[in-house]
Every structure is written in structure tokens, then in C-alpha cells.
Amino acid sequence: MSFFLRWLFALFLVGVTYNPTPVNFARWAEANWQAQMPLTALFGVLLLIGWIIYLRATLRSIGPLGMILVLALVGTILWVLWDYGLIDLSDPRFATWIGILALSLVLGVGLSWSIIRRRLSGQADVDDVDET
């Protein structure tokens, strides 16, 4: 599985959990909690499992400092784009989507970092298993 697929799933996870449209788990759960409590709980647990997998892998591979560095990189890229007038962050919906994109990039890099580092350096992590 490539970095792109890991990032796409992270984008899906973050976007399904919350986004500025009416189609997201947070708004659906709020509206349907009383009428569909078991289904809401099931979807909530499934999302929680996805979040735990991504956050645990991200914290183990790049750690909190790495997460901050990736966010700093994304933030400065956005700052440059805003400074040159290429994006306008005055629309809250657009800014929310940018935040969703940034968070998904952090999670995608975190899940893929061990593989990227192994390919760049040739060194395997201690907890890597033989994949051949």
C-alpha cells in the first residue's frame, strides 16, 4: 500500500468524523442519537478504532515532535500560499477543509514514516518484521 492510499484513508477518516458539510458522523450522531443509538454507537466505535490505529502508529513512528514538525511544514506552506494570494482563508468552510487536509497529512505521514525511512536509509525499525 502506498503513501497515497494511507493518506486517502486518513483523509476519509478525518472527513467522515467531521467536515463543514451536513454529511459527517458528528452531525449525524447528534441528530440520530436517540432514534438510532445502537447504530450510532457502532459507527462511533468503528471510527474510534480507525483513530486509535492512526494515532498510535503516528505517535510510534514520528512522535509528538514529528507531528508538530509536519504540521509546521504544512502551516508554513499554507502561509506562503496565502502570502502570495493563491488561497484565501477568510471563508471558515474552506479553512476547515484545509485543517482536515493538514491533519490527514500528519496521520498519513505518521502511518507511512517507518516505510519511508527504511527506503531512504536502508535501516529497519526494531519492531519491523520480515516482509519478504
For residues 116 and 70, is the Cβ–Cβ distance under 8 A? Answer: no
| pLDDT value for 120 | 78
- pLDDT means over runs of 10, the chain (132 residues): 87 96 94 92 96 93 91 94 93 94 92 78 62 52
Q: Which of 49, 65, 54 shows the shortest CA–CA distance to 112?
A: 54
Instruction: Report how far residue 1's alpha carbon sits from residue 48's, in angstroms, rounded to the nearest whole number.
Output: 22
Instruction: Report how far residue 19's alpha carbon sits from residue 29's, in angstroms, rounded to the nearest whole number.
Output: 13
Q: In terms of pTM, does the model score above 0.75? A: yes
| pLDDT value for 129 | 55
